[in-house]
Each structure stands twice: as structure tokens, then as C-alpha cells.
Amino acid sequence: MASAAEQLASNMSLGVFSKATELKRRLWFTLGALIVYRIGTYIPVPGVDPAVMAALMQAHSTGLAGMFNMFGGGALGRMAVFALNIMPYISASIIIQLMSSAVPQLEALKKEGEQGRKRLNQYTRYLTVIIAVFQAYGIAIGLESQAGAVIDPGMFFRMSCVITLVGGTMFLMWLGEQITSRGVGNGTSLIIMSGIVANLPSAAANLLEMGRTGALSPFFILFFIVLAVGTIAAIVFIERAQRRINVQYPKRQVGNRMFGGDSTHMPLKINTSGVIPPIFASSILLIPATLSGFAAGGPAWVQWISNQLGHGQPGYMFLYAFMIIFFSYFYTAVVFNPEETADNLKKYGGFIPGIRPGSATAAYFDRVLTRLTTVGGLYLVAICLLPEILISNYGVPFYFGGTSILIVVSVTMDTVTQVQSHLLAHQYEGLIRKSRVKGRR
């Protein structure tokens, strides 16, 4: 009986999808944009020896360069035009959002609506160029310090490398915006996810090869697979978990008719910030890798800081956990304003049973959200750090780390949710169209 109902629902969904031309156009556009991105990860930067670059990445595969290469879909290992990926844009977004909460002029822009958001986005693009130039020049200096990596070192190579890498980042920023507006899902997240997914087969092959050669025991490989499956199950469970707050609306009489009196709930996710905190924290931790490029043969204290913040080091782990929790609270405060939500409830006559409308409701929201964010932040720290400890100690590929699994699962769930929303919208439009035709008859 249940299987027949599920089969019927599946057939209805397939029928709606076959007629949803707008959704199919968006899906094809998203797929085409991601293919363009993957092609760009194979176009090399002029003047770099690919063999030497591959050897360098092999030697530093367990460091921050390996993590950078993971987010870039292998573009850094091939020193492609998309080697910086979209990380400078993410770093610029972090800085602008932080400044919009501290600088009154930027905070006023955030409250101006669509026009203010456009200006903030423009500032973010300008800052992206500055950060990308800084990181690209650091990579150029670091490459020149490696013997044989650059065919013809000098100012011309540095300038061409900076122009190429910055241009690749700006193109990816534009491509991500196009995916968000004309495709399905968040363009920035999909670009990062596609880079991770593209290298999962080779990472799985490397893991099995390590087991065949005896570098990892079969028991450990089995344990790691079980851990990865358990991590995926935990991510799905927590990302779908909600704290439902009951909201009631009083009855009101308009003329001779009675309206209202409904009871509903307001869902608050345990992990309101989603996948943003690990991505923000990872992008910030890429700064020491850039500094190490500048510090080749430079001051010893800079080298010491870079070593202490190397992947797997206690300083890296502590800073990574701290920034994940910080950005969990920060991004939750950005996307959910308790006072504004309480004012909206009061404006439409809604109230929480046992809580006075207004400031008391805002304080209640803030208290509940703080507890949820604490649990969500600790969940993100556990998901991201536990596999990282195994990676740093046993040399397992980055693609099976907690951050990469979290990104892939969360972005997939969000994209599927948007696809379902488009299907529902198309189905409702079809029902409205049919009702109008019947009304005319």
C-alpha cells in the first residue's frame, strides 16, 4: 500500500518535472557553468613547469596547500588559471559583513534595501580584487623560491601570474553570481562543491592504494569508511533538525465575520549558519600559506608562525575550532534578528504563549537561538576536526575530511530543496491555470 503511494508520488513528480521547462533550463545552465569551471581548472598559468608543480603539491599534500588544492578542485596542483578559486571573494564577504556591523556608514547601507545591498556587493568585489592580488603575488613569490618551478623568473612572470590568477578569480565570482540568479542553488557553494566532488574518485583510489601497499591497514580503512558514513548521517540529521516555537494569532472580527485564531510554529534550525562557518574559517586559515610565500628566506618569526599554524598542528586545530564557533554566532546574528522578528510578530498580532509581545519575545528568541547556536557550533567543530585529526596523523586524502563532507552534503541538500521548490511552484502555476480555464468555461 505504502509502496504504491510512493510510486504514484514519484510518477507525479516525474510528470511535473517533464513539463517544468523553466526548471530544466536552470538545471542545464547550472551544469554548463560548472563544466566551464572544470575546464578552467586545467588551463595552466604561463611560465610554470607542471612536473615541478606536481612534485611540490605531492610533498605538501597534507598541508594547507593540500586544503587549498581541495577547495580549488585540483587547480592549484596544476597551477591553473583558477588556482585561487573563489576563496578571495569569500574572504572579502567576511570582511564586509564584519565591517557592516561595526562601521555606521556600512550598517546604514545594509538597511537601505536593494540599493544598499548593491553598493555593499560592489565594495565586496573591489575588496576581492585587492585580496586576490595579494594572494596571487604571494603565490608567484613562493613559486620563484622553488628551484625549477618557474621557467623564466622575474617581474614579467610575477605580473603575468598576478593578472592571470586575479582574472580567474573575478571570472569565478561572476560565474557564481550567474548560477545563483539564472541557475539552481547558490553559485559560490556549488563551485566549491564541484571541485571537491570532481576529485573524490581519485581520492578513493588513493585510499585503496594506500591499503594495498600496507600504508594503511584494512581495519583502519573500514573504520574510516564507517566514520564517513556516520558523519554523513549526522550531517543530514542535524541539518534537518528544528526547534519549533509555537506561535498563536488571536481571533479578530471584521464586520460579521471572524478571522484568525490560528496556531502555527516558527522553525529554528539547530545549525542556522549552515556550511558558512567552516568555509569562512578555512579561507581565513589560508592567509598563513600566503605569508609563507612572502617569507621564503625571510624573518624567522614569520616562518615559526606559519609552522605553528600548519595543518594538523595544535595551533591550527585550536584556531580552526575557535573560528568555526565564532562564525556560527556571527552568521546566525546576520541572518536572524530577534528584535525584528519579535516586532513583525507583534505587528501582525502573533504571540508566543506565556511570553509578552515585544522585548520579552525578542529576549526569548535570543535565548533560544543562543542555545541552538552553541549546539550547532559544537556539532560543526566535531564534524570538521575529528576527521582532520585522522587525516593529519594517517595521511588520508583531504577529500574525506569533515569540511569537505559537510560542504558536499549541505550544498546537495540545499540544491535539492530548491529543485523541489521550483517543482512545487510549477505545479501551483499549473493548478491556477487550470482553474482559470474552468472559470472561463
Question: For the chain, what is the mean pLDDT?
Answer: 78
- CATH superfamily name and code, 199-441: SecY subunit domain (1.10.3370.10)
CB-count burial class (<10 Å; 0-12, 13-18, 19+) for 292? buried
Q: Domain ranges in the chain?
A: 21-183, 199-441
In this predicted structure, the answer to whether residue 62 has a pLDDT above a threshold of 70 is: no
Backbone angles phi, psi at 77, to 5 degrees: -65, -30
pLDDT digits (tens, 9 = 90+) for 78-92: 888 998 888 888 888
Domain 21-183 has CATH 1.10.3370.10: yes
In this predicted structure, the answer to whether residue 401 has a pLDDT above a threshold of 70 is: no
> Which has more confidence, 201 or 171?
171
Query: For residue 251, what pLDDT band results from cuts at 50, 70 and 90?
Result: low
pLDDT at 355: 81
Mean pLDDT of 94-101: 79
Query: For residue 12, what pLDDT band results from cuts at 50, 70 and 90?
Result: very low
Mean pLDDT of 405-416: 85
Question: Do 21-183 and 199-441 come out as alike in CATH topology?
Answer: yes
> For the chain, how many residues are written?
441
In this predicted structure, the answer to whether residue 255 has a pLDDT above a threshold of 70 is: no
